[in-house]
Amino acid sequence: MALKKSNKIIFLILALTLIAIIIILRITSNKSQEAIKDKKQFIKTAIAVNSIIIKPKTISDKIIATGTIAGNEEVELRCETSGRITKILFNEGAKVHQGDILVKTNDAELQAQLKKAQSKLKLSGEIELRQKSLFEKQGISRQTYDEALSEKIQLEADVEFIRAQIDKTEIHAPFDGIIGIRSVSIGTYLTPQIQIATIQSVNPVKIDFTVPQTYSELINMGKNISIKLSGKSRIYNAKIYAIEPKINLDSRSLAVRAIMPNNNGEMTPGAFVAIEIGMEEIQNSLMAPTESLITDINGESVFIYKNGKAISKKIISGIRTEKEVQIVSGLNPGDTLITSGIIQLKSGVAVKLNSIVQ
C-alpha cells in the first residue's frame, strides 16, 4: 500500500515537471517570436542613410571669396562739345594707342574763326613792331605802345582759345587699349550725354572682391591670391595691391583689389571669378561635409550613428572650405557621421547604414 502511494507521488511530480517545461518552452517561443517581429519592424521603419567615419587630417586655412575682373583702365568715350560727327577713325573691338584720333566732329565754323583771328593777330603783330620802333626812338608815348602790345596779346589768346575749341572736336584715345562697340554713326549729332563707345586697358587686369570683417586683419598688401575663372580648372595667381581703409557699414566687409597680368587676353573685364586666399596649415582637424550640418536658432548640430539610432550632437564649426566644415568641438575621431537623409531625422530615430566612407 505504501509502495503504491509512493508511485503516485512520483508520477504527480513528473507530471507537474512536464507541465512546467511545456509552459516555459511556450513562453520562450513567444518571446523569441516577438523579438523577431520587433526586429523586422525595426528594419522596416529604420531610415536608410549614408555616413562617414570622422578622422583627423591636415587642412589649409584659407579664405574663400568671389570677385569680378575689371580692366586696368576703363573710360566711356564722350565729347566735350556738341557737334555733328564727320569722321569715325576706329574699328570696333580693335586695339588703339594713346593719342589716336577716334572721332572727329564738324569744326568748319571754328576753322573760319581761327583764320580770322590769325589774320588779325598778324596785323596786330606788325603794328606792335612799328610802335615798338617808334617808342624806342621816343616817337610815341609809353601808353600808345602798351596799347598796341595789349592788343597783340589779346589776339594771341583768342587764337589759342579757338584752337582749344577745335581740339575738343577731336576725341583721342586716352591710353593704349581695346575699344568696344560704338553707339554712333557718321552724321550723328553728338552731345556730351551720348556715349560713343568704351575703351579698356586689359593687360594687366584688376580683381575686385570683398572679405568678411573677421579676416580683415589677415589681408596684407602684396599677398598672393589664387584665381579661378568660372567653368575653367586652371588656377591663376594675382597680388593684392590696394585695400579699402574702411569696413563697409552695410555688409561688414572689406573691399580689396588685386592685380594680375593678362598677356593672353584670357581675363575678360566683368567676368566672375572664384578666389582663394591661403593662410596657414592646421593639424589634426576634424572635417564634416557641409551638407551634414544643421543650422537653426540654437546653433549648429549634426547626427551621428550609435547603436542603430541617429543621435543629435551640438557642434561648433570653424574654417569652411568649398565642400567641408571644420568641427572645432562636438565630435570625436571615430564617430560615424550621418551625411544623408538629414531632413527626415530626429534624435533617437532608428536608422540603417547604406554605406560608410572610411
Output the pLDDT for position 274.
Answer: 92
| One domain, residues 209 and 275 | yes
CB neighbours of residue 296 within 10 Å: 7
Domain at 207, CATH number: 2.40.30.170
| One domain, residues 251 and 261 | yes
| One domain, residues 204 and 277 | yes
| One domain, residues 213 and 154 | no
| One domain, residues 97 and 157 | no
Domain that holds residue 18: 2-45
pTM of the full predicted structure?
0.58
Q: Are 104 and 169 in contact (CB under 8 A)?
A: yes
CA 263 → CA 96, 204, 205, 215, distances in Å?
16, 8, 10, 31
Q: Residue 282's beta-bridge partner residues?
A: 59
Those residues of the chain that have pLDDT short of 70 are: 1-8, 10-12, 14-16, 25-44, 280, 355, 358
| One domain, residues 301 and 317 | yes
User: What's the total number of domains in the chain?
Assistant: 5
- Among 247, 281, 315, the domain boundary falls at 281
Report how far residue 226's alpha carbon sits from residue 263's, in angstroms, rounded to the nearest whole number: 17
| One domain, residues 142 and 226 | no
| One domain, residues 90 and 181 | yes
Pairing of strands 351-357, 47-53: parallel
| One domain, residues 215 and 260 | yes
Output the pLDDT for position 282.
Answer: 76
Domain at 150, CATH number: 1.10.287.470
| One domain, residues 40 and 52 | no
| One domain, residues 252 and 296 | no
- Among 195, 230, 246, the domain boundary falls at 195
CA 235 remoteness from chain centre: 15
| One domain, residues 86 and 190 | yes
Output the pLDDT for position 27.
Answer: 67
